Structure formats: structure tokens, C-alpha cells
A and B are shown apart, each in its own frame.
Chain A
Amino acid sequence: MSESNMITPENLVYEKTSVMTDRVLHYCPGCGHGTAHRILAEVIGELGIQGDTIGVAPVGCSVLAYYYFDVDMQEAAHGRAPAVATGIKRVLPEKYVFTYQGDGDLAAIGTAETIHACNRGESILIVFINNGIYGMTGGQMAPTTLAGMKSSTSPRGRDVATMGNPLKITELVAQLPGTYFVTRQAVHAPANVRKAKRALKKALEYQKLNKGTCFVEIVSNCPSGWKMTPVQSNKWMEENMFPFYPLGDIKVPPEKQ
């Protein structure tokens, strides 16, 4: 069978969403960012809201997210994405607004902005990629780095007595009356990808209801920062990250319970 015979509409099993650009991702091999980007872009495409969506990129590995999402985007200062998103949503309440942030951005330097945007119940979607490390700056300890986990600033492992405990910020924001839907997902295996995509879709659909902040954590890997192969990193994530950051819905809308 020649190539031209194979590439036919009836053989189509997968199509790249038009909400992603054709730029080559800069992420490391095996990193979860690419999949997380793709499913969020697919959801935006499926909901038909590409022209009504405004994204906010963080500082961190996904600082250049606007290269890949083919939607209007703003690049925020480190940790300030929820405040920037608040400014956007307050002047454009009809638009869909999301932030895409890593753990350092969202749960360390931007903790105040995260908590207060959630507490005000801003009608935005916060996508939180938690890989327990500062990837872009070269593998330093993050607020979500596990106890005992090694990083370039916890080379002997995170000593909680002196370095503090890993922060479960997702459980924290779930306590706030302003959040409407809070869930923790993963994208390392096909079943998880499907679940995470459903969660993102629900979160964006809920935004129309104006009932509060939707917060989707994606526990992810960082092969480069963790000094592992992609396969090792996914196994390590399942064995170490998931027990501490269990997957599943943390807060579901009252009418959905």
C-alpha cells in the first residue's frame, strides 16, 4: 500500500486540532506539557470557542505557551497569571479566560494571586501543572517537591524540618467558597489523558455559568529535572507523586453531586 492510498479520509483516526499552531514544541522528550497543551487546545476547538478564548501564560517551562495555543494570549509576570486573568475577565466577561501555570508560578511566588482569584470566585479556568520541580531554571525545589525528593536546591532530598512541607494547594483552594470545580488529573497514560480532557472540557463549559473558579491540576513528570528517562519518570510519578497527590475530583459542583 502506497502512502497516498493510506492518507484518505476514511483512514483518519487522529487529527491535530487547529487550536494548536504548527510550531515545534520546545518541551523535553517525555514531558507532560505537550499532552496537556494538546488536550486543552482540543477542548477549545471542540467547544468552538477559539475566537472567544484568552489565555494567560506563566513564567516557567510553559512561558512560551502562546507559541503553541492558537488563541489570543497574554504573558504574565511570574505568579501573577490569576491577577492578569482577573483583569481580562472583568473587562471581557463574555470571553473564556484560562491560565496555564506550573507549581513554582502558582503555588510559590503566586500563592496570593492564586488563592485570592479562587476566593473571589473569578470565572476563569486555572490549569495547574504540578511536576514538583522548577523545570525551566534547571531543577530547583518547588513548593510541591515531595519530602525527601532531590533537586538542585535540595541535593540531599527535601528536608521538611528546614525546607517546609510540600504544599497541597489544590486541596487548599477546594476549601474556598469561590471555587466551583476542583480536580486533580494526570496525562501520562491514555486513560488519564481522556479523563483529564473531560475535566478540562467540563471546566470550560462551567465558565459560562459564572459560578466560580475552575481549577484543574495535572500531576506531571519532569524527566530532565528528575534525572530520569521518560518511562522511569512516569513510573516514579505513579509510585511517589500519586500517593501524595491522589488523582480524582476534589470538589464537584453541588448540583452535580
Chain B
Amino acid sequence: MKELRLMKGNEALAEAAIRAGADAYFGYPITPQSEVIEYLMRENPVDRTGMQVLQAESEIAAINMVYGAAGCGKRAMTSSSSPGISLKMEGLSYIAGAELPCLVVNVVRAGPGLGTIQPSQSDYFQAVKGGGHGDYKLIVLAPATVQESVDYVRLGFELAFKYRNPVMILSDGIIGQMMEKVELFEQQPRLDVEFEWATLGKKPDKDSVIVTSLQLQSEEQEKVNLRLQAKYREVEKNEVRYETYGCEDAEYLFAAYGSCARITRKAMEMARARGIKVGLLRPQTLYPFPADAINGLADQVKGILTVEMNAGQMVEDVRLAVNGKVPVKFYGRFGGMIPSPDEILEALEQKIIGG
């Protein structure tokens, strides 16, 4: 049965993991996402669904435990925050290379280095452009609400298994820490499928299953890369998700994702109260990026302001999508600072309307 609750983002996400029928969670504490593993340990999902939860000795071990469980065709996940996600990049590259499904949550805090525990969007490049070594892509989902944090856990596992590819939920310290009303989906059964690519023990008269990302022959490795690229083109064709607000009559456009999109939407409403016809496009998938939608809107608007909690990362993808049709400007706060709607509106007036 669907259930309404008031929940903290990280805890709601952890509950969603149990309800999505996850088989295993492996994690390591780091602020501001420790509530995920704390909630799971408290809830003890092995009693509810048989889901395994283990606190690993490091983020590196945790992502490699995910690799092992995912290689058995199980729904495996981990979560961390920025410095910990950096440590997982090796494992993610191997998981992408071995074409294993898994879910990774990044409750982003500001960097570089140890940075601060305050919210940020400064891991956009790392999430969307690769992060680890080699040509690979994560499917990146960007929740703006606690509700989306919950829904994207289920969606994330679906996409991960549909494409046998790691999926990242790129959350942030605001969404992870705030409490909101959330509708929890019903308990989903754990998978009861023996995937032919999974190591479950060699079947008589069948070849053994090998999970690997190693191809010593360049010709073979190129084939792997071509297969991955073909898969990414499919993802780009099928999985773009975004929302638009007030774009029907828009003369200007905001582009923003995650918690920053909610603040920007407030700025949009304030601008409209002043008679400025501005819309907002909010990517829900950062990879694949809603490039076509933005390119289409570029035919309609006079300029686009990208608003982010970083020094300007998604703005590069917006510019590529717009391809020079109209000016694309950037406004952001970083280091854990959060832009106010007033600042965003002022930036729109100065950089786009007056610019």
C-alpha cells in the first residue's frame, strides 16, 4: 500500500532501497549521507526482505562489494558523499567496463578536497563526464525533492538492469538532510531471476560465466568500447527526462537541476510577478542530458541563465545544446553557499535581460 510519511531525504532513500527490492547495500559513513546506512542498520532489512547490509572498511571496499554482488545479478547499491565518491571512481569504471548494474548515491558536499559538509553541486562533471578512467558513462538522475530521491531508487535499479550500467543518483546535502512529505511506493519483491551473465555457479554443459573488464587485444577492447557507445546512444534516445515550468510563453529561460532548480523556480515566480516572461527547464537526467529540449527552447527565448551550486559545470552542456543560438550565461554560488531567489533574479536581469 502507498504510504505518506514525513521523512528526511537520506532516510527516505534508504527506505526506498528496501522497498525497491534491493538485495544488498554496502557503505561507509560520511557526512551528509550517513543516515542512509544508519537507517538501514536500524531497520535491519534482512528481517523484512532478506536484504543484506554491510558497513565496509572503506568506500573503495564498499564499491567493490557492490561489484561482487552485482556480478551475481543482484540489486546492489552504495551511497556516499563527494570525497567518498572520488574513492569509488575506480570501482565504477570497472563496473561500467564489466557492464554490471548497480545504484550509487552521491549526496554531494562542497569540495575540492575535504571541503565542507554543506551542500553543493560541484560533482556534476565527475558524475556526468566520467570521473574514473576510460570511456564510460553513468546514467545520472538528479532529484529535486525527497519524493524524487525515493522514486529514483526504483527507477535507478530499473535503468541499471535495463542497460547493465551503473546508475548514479546525484543528490546533495539539502535534499539528503531536509524533511519533506513523501509517498512511499509499495514493497517490491527482490529479483528472482538468474541472469545468464551472472556468476551463480557454472551450469553443466554451459560455458563458465566470467565477469571482467579486461581485454588484452586492442581489437577486442575496441569492440567493447563500440558496444558501450552503442548502448549509450540507446540511453540517450530513450531515457532523457526533464521538466519545464512556464516555458509556453517564455522569452527567457533558466536551466537548473536538483535543489538549485527549486530555488530558481522561486526566482522564476518572482520574475513573472514583475512581468518578466521567464521559464525554467529542470533536467531530471543529467546523463542523458536534455540537449534537444534545450536546443528547441533556444529557438524561442532570447537568452538562457544556468544556475548551479558550483563554479559553472552544467552550463557547458547547456552551451553545447544551444550551439550558439542565443547567449547562455551562468550564475552560481559554491563552497556550500546556496543562492537566494533574489540573487538569481538579479543575475537574470543583469546578465541576460540587460546583458
Contacts and interface: CB of A to CB of B under 8 A. Distances in A.
Interface centre among B26, B72, B199, by most chain A C-beta atoms within 10 angstroms, is B199
A87 B66 contact: yes
Interface stretch (B90-98, B283-291, B347-355): B90-98
Given A51-B203, A77-B94, A95-B201, A88 B214 contact: no
A87 B76 contact: yes
B65 A75 contact: no
A83 B65 contact: yes
B210 A80 contact: no
B71 interface: yes
B57 A77 contact: no
Interface in B45-72: 52, 54, 56-58, 60-62, 64-72
Nearest to A76: B64
A148 B203 CA distance: 49
A219 interface: no
A70 interface: yes
Nearest to B94: A77
A87 B201 contact: no
Contact of B199 (A54, A64, A70, A80): A54
B91 A77 contact: yes
B208 A66 contact: yes
Contact of B58 (A77, A85, A112): A112
Contact of B201 (A54, A76, A112): A54
B9 to A, nearest CB: 26
Given A53-B201, A91-B23, A113 B64 contact: yes
B24 interface: yes
A127 interface: no
Interface residues of B, number: 40
Nearest to B61: A83
Nearest to B204: A51
A74 B91 contact: no
B321 interface: no
A151 B240 CA distance: 53
Nearest to B58: A112
B202 A70 contact: yes
Contacts of A40: none
A116 B61 contact: yes
B211 interface: yes
Contacts of A77: 64, 67, 90-91, 94
Interface string A52-96: 111011000001101001111111110010011111111110010
A95 B199 CA distance: 10
A47 to B, nearest CB: 13
B204 A87 contact: no
Contacts of B202: 50-51, 53, 70-72
Nearest to B57: A116
B24 A91 contact: yes
B210 A72 contact: yes
B98 A75 contact: yes
A72 B201 contact: yes
B211 A112 contact: no
A50 B71 CA distance: 18
Nearest to B210: A66
Contacts of A88: 68-69, 71-72, 199
A89 B26 CA distance: 13
B67 A84 contact: yes
A87 B91 contact: no
Nearest to A87: B68
A135 to B, nearest CB: 16
A74 B208 contact: no
Interface centre among A63, A83, A85, A88, by most chain B C-beta atoms within 10 angstroms, is A83
A91 B72 contact: yes
B54 A86 contact: yes
B54 to A, nearest CB: 6
B69 A90 contact: yes
Interface string A117-158: 000000000000000000000000000000000000000000
B74 interface: yes
A72 B98 contact: no
Nearest to A90: B52
Interface centre among B58, B68, B71, B201, by most chain A C-beta atoms within 10 angstroms, is B68
B212 interface: yes
A87 B65 contact: yes
Given A87-B68, A87-B69, A90-B24, A73 B201 contact: no
A74 B201 contact: no
Contacts of B98: 74-75
Given A66-B210, A72-B202, A88-B71, 19 more contacts: A51-B201, A57-B212, A63-B214, A64-B214, A71-B201, A73-B199, A73-B210, A74-B71, A77-B64, A77-B94, A83-B64, A84-B67, A86-B54, A87-B67, A87-B72, A87-B76, A88-B72, A91-B52, A116-B56
29 contacts: A51-B202, A56-B68, A63-B214, A64-B214, A66-B212, A70-B208, A71-B202, A73-B208, A74-B211, A76-B64, A77-B90, A77-B91, A80-B60, A83-B65, A83-B68, A86-B56, A86-B68, A87-B68, A88-B72, A90-B24, A90-B65, A91-B23, A91-B24, A91-B52, A95-B200, A112-B61, A113-B57, A113-B60, A116-B56
Enumerate the 3 nearest inter-chain pairs by beta-carbon distance, A residue then B residue, closest first.
A87-B68, A87-B65, A75-B212
Interface of A: 50-54, 56-57, 63-64, 66, 69-77, 80, 83-92, 95, 112-113, 116
Interface of B: 23-24, 26, 52, 54, 56-58, 60-62, 64-72, 74, 76, 90-91, 94, 98, 199-204, 208-214, 216
